[in-house]
Amino acid sequence: MDAVMKLIEGVICLAFLSLFGYLVPWIKAHVSAEQLQVIQTIVNAAVYAAQQTMSGASGAQKKEEVCSQILEELAERGISINPQQLDNLIEAAVRTMKIKENRI
């Protein structure tokens, strides 16, 4: 009887370890996906806002302002992003905006 209980405890421990081995990476990936969605939403809003409100500004001036707004918003939310990722997301948002406006 004692051996059976130890075997059951071992199986339960193994099951929990296996579950956490899969669950923790899934949670990390899920949170990252949610953060990416938040970042993309912020980037798109900033790009569209710059297009509407900074019509006389150069592309470089718009991009500088957009970067500043995005980084400020992300900092308030506790989200960090590296400069290359931010640049790629901004360029993608600009291209998408131009395609939607039939400028490309």
- What token pair was written down for 44? 């798109």
Please report which confidence band the pLDDT of residue 104 belongs to, taking 50, 70 and 90 as the band edges: low
The predicted model scores a pTM of 0.71
Q: How confident is the model at residue 64, as a pLDDT?
A: 94
Question: If DSSP states are collapsed to H, E and C, what string results for 31-96?
Answer: HHHHHHHHHHHHHHHHHHHHHHHCCCCCHHHHHHHHHHHHHHHHHHHCCCCCHHHHHHHHHHHHHH
Kindly state the percentage of the chain with pLDDT values over 70: 80
Q: How confident is the model at residue 9, as a pLDDT?
A: 79
Q: State the DSSP code for 1.
A: -
Closest C-alpha to 97, from 36, 30, 49, 27: 49
pLDDT per residue as tens digits for the range 25-76: 765 666 688 888 999 999 999 999 999 999 899 999 999 999 999 999 999 9
- What token pair was written down for 61? 């001036």
